[in-house]
Amino acid sequence: MNKYLKLLNFELNRFFKIYLVLIVLTVVLQMIAVIVECRQYLKQANEMIYGMNASKEQFLANFGQMSFVHVTTNGWFMWSIAICAVTLIIYVFFIWYRDWFARNTFIYRLLTLPTDRINVYLAKATAIFLMVLGLISLQLILFPVEQGIFRAMIPDDFRKDLSTSDIITYSKYLNVLFPGTLIEFVTLYAVGLMLVFTVFTAILFERCYRIKGIFFGFGYCALAIAIFLSPVLIELFTGKEYLYPIEKFFAEVALCFLVAGMSISVSRFLLNYKIRV
């Protein structure tokens, strides 16, 4: 366990500078989104009320009150989330290939450490998972700050105050990142971790068998996804529903753990007996 934690700390430190850039970028872009969206709304209000001599009631009848949901649909806000998501997806691959293609082939040192090789695999996966949770936590911290700026810029009569949970519920994509219940949240990110394990195993297939490994990797990913989605696929092909929704949910959870365990077992075998550096 101590060796695993040291490897985890090492992987987190390697990504720290890029991660810090992502945090700063997220904060800056979302603050810009709040200010830009509020200024646009106020500009509309001023043009109609003072430029066209309309009453406040007429403006509100046409445009309605502004809520923070408007901010979450702003391009700056959406880009902040998209950039973080794409960066972490790329890093899922980079975290392995960097070690192989670095100047001194750093993977030699990692795989010859006095610890089980699977700890290298688990440390990399855990690092990715913690980075995702860190950005999710950052977003929850930013919401109250951004809402404070929003309330300071928009007069009471022109805004509709919403709680953070309401903002997430009404947003088309935030409710995907922040499911409504704890069970849904844990399930969603457990599936995400399962996918990371699956991709890692596919990468190891490629590293072990090179050209053939690419096909093995794609085949393994297809198999893992087919196993995980088997209850849905069976119902889709037969046109019959064999399970109640709650039964299907628990079946998917069990299959998620099965696929994750399968990926770890296959990766352990590849790392111990097939890997070439």
pLDDT digits (tens, 9 = 90+) for 201-243: 999 999 999 899 999 999 999 999 999 999 888 888 887 777 7
| Backbone Cα Rg of the chain | 24
What percent of the chain is modeled with pLDDT above 90? Answer: 59
Cβ-contact 122, 4 below 8 angstroms: yes
Please report which confidence band the pLDDT of residue 108 belongs to, taking 50, 70 and 90 as the band edges. Answer: confident
Q: Report which of 44, 100, 41 is spatially closest to residue 68, judged by C-alpha positions.
A: 41
Q: How many CB atoms sit inside 10 A of residue 98's CB?
A: 13
Q: How is the chain split into domains, by residue range?
A: 14-178, 182-277
Q: Report which of 164, 192, 160, 162 is spatially closest to residue 180, judged by C-alpha positions.
A: 164
pLDDT digits (tens, 9 = 90+) for 83-94: 999 999 999 999
Measured between alpha carbons, how far is 11 from 128 in angstroms, rounded to an integer?
Answer: 9
Q: What angle do CA 107, 113, 118 make, to 5 degrees?
A: 75
* Residue spans of alpha helices (H) in 47-117: 56-63, 68-72, 75-101, 107-111
The two tokens of residue 223 are: 């198999």
Global pTM? 0.90
pLDDT digits (tens, 9 = 90+) for 112-148: 888 889 999 999 999 999 999 999 999 999 999 999 9
Query: CA 42, 44, 50, 56 torsion: positive or negative?
Result: negative
Measured between alpha carbons, how far is 246 from 233 in angstroms, rounded to an integer?
Answer: 17
Q: Is the pLDDT of residue 75 over 80?
A: yes
Q: Which are the contacts of 99, defined by CB distance < 8 A and separation ≥ 6?
A: 105, 106, 107, 110
Q: Is the pLDDT of residue 102 over 80?
A: no
Measured between alpha carbons, how far is 125 from 102 in angstroms, rounded to an integer?
Answer: 20
pLDDT digits (tens, 9 = 90+) for 181-211: 889 899 999 999 999 999 999 999 999 998 9
Terminal Cα distance for the chain, rounded: 25
